[in-house]
């Protein structure tokens, strides 16, 4: 089932070229974001990140709509994005808000207990909370689009699916991670090969120099050429990974959701003499 979903996803990407558009758009945004960050700093980059995230959600929702129809072009992509944009965005905001509130409540509780709010502990604890939350709610967007579910219902459906199909979902995560690392590793090799002459002095560093080496020093070493090459690698990374992983996610969700449909328990009761129904 898990590998079948990946094969189906690759087949859809060959048959429906418009599914590559979200990767193309987000790749361009990621490259521009990297260039703006290096040229102007974080002030403009953070605002561009927010805008880019909303655009990514729009195209992702549109691609799910095209996958659900089994065909479509750029018009269907935009139509689906408009129709399901808030269906995908609002549950995402709810998940983020609840995660932040949970972390904040724990920190407040610890502070009342006399424990200082250590930034390192806060970061580690935030990660420990975010990982299981993401694991359980990962399919909220596909539930919202394919099953036309509302905000909280889509989150509940994702948790239900992950709980019932935990083994298949774990295999899905493993294969998705393997695809991610394979593409990322390939791009890292290309990046290092393109900047070999600039990175060659690193091979002569001792352990003390490597331990003291900072990202700022790396940026100064690779220079403007390295910034552009990094932007190009980011572009191709998003161009390849987002369409493959999102389409795979959609195909996997459809395959496992068919066997885990929520069945409502029958309601027992009786009619009175006037034909009114009374539930027990």
The region of weakest confidence among 99-103, 254-258, 273-277 is: 273-277
Task: Report the C-alpha gap between 104 and 122 in whole angstroms.
Answer: 9
CA distances from 45 to 42, 63, 146, 264 (A): 5, 26, 33, 48
The pLDDT tens digits of the residues spanning 124-182 come to: 878 888 899 999 999 999 999 999 898 899 999 999 999 999 999 999 999 999 999 99
Comparing 126 with 277, which gets the higher pLDDT?
Answer: 126
At 265 the pLDDT is 45
Q: Is 208 helix (H, G, I), strand (E, B) or coil?
A: helix
Do residues 179 and 245 make contact, with C-beta atoms less than 8 angstroms apart? yes
User: How many angstroms separate the first and last alpha carbons of the chain?
Assistant: 41
Q: Are 64 and 242 in contact (CB under 8 A)?
A: no
pTM value is: 0.84
| pLDDT tens sequence across 199-236 | 888 777 877 877 777 777 777 888 888 889 999 999 99
Residue 114 has pLDDT above 90, yes or no: no
Element (H, E) at 278: strand 277-279
> Cα separation of 179 and 279, whole Å?
52
Total Cβ atoms within 10 A of residue 97: 10
Q: Coil, strand or helix: which one is 269?
A: strand
Residues near 125 by beta carbon (within 8 Å), at least 6 away in sequence: 103, 106, 107
CB 66 within 8 A of CB 19: yes
Count how many residues are written for the chain: 280
Q: Decide: 89 and 155 in contact? Cβ < 8 Å.
A: no
**pLDDT classification of 271: cutoffs 50, 70, 90:** low
């Amino acid at each position: 089932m898990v590998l079948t979903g990946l094969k189906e996803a690759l087949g859809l990407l060959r048959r429906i070229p418009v599914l590559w558009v979200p990767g193309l758009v987000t790749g361009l945004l990621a490259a521009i974001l990297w260039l703006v960050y290096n040229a102007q700093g974080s002030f403009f980059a953070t605002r561009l990140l927010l805008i880019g995230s909303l655009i990514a959600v729009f195209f992702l929702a549109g691609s799910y709509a095209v996958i659900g129809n089994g065909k479509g072009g750029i018009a269907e992509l935009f139509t689906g994005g408009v129709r399901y944009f808030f269906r995908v965005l609002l549950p995402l905001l709810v998940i983020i808000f609840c995660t932040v509130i949970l972390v904040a409540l724990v920190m407040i509780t610890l502070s009342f207990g006399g424990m200082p709010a250590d930034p390192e502990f806060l970061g580690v604890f935030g990660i420990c909370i975010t990982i299981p939350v993401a694991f359980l709610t990962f399919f909220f967007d596909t539930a919202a689009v394919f099953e036309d579910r509302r905000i909280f219902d889509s989150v509940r459906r994702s948790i239900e699916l992950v709980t019932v199909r935990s083994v298949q979902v774990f295999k899905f995560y493993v294969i998705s991670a393997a695809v991610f690392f394979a593409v990322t590793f390939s791009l890292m090799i290309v990046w290092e090969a393109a900047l070999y002459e600039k990175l060659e002095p690193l091979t002569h560093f001792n352990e003390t120099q490597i331990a003291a080496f900072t990202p700022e020093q790396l940026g100064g070493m690779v220079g403007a050429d390295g910034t552009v090459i990094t932007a190009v690698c980011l572009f191709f990374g998003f161009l390849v990974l987002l369409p493959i992983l999102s389409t795979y996610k959609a195909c996997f969700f459809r395959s496992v959701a068919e066997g885990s449909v929520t069945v409502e328990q029958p309601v027992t009761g009786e009619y009175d003499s006037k034909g009114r129904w009374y539930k027990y």
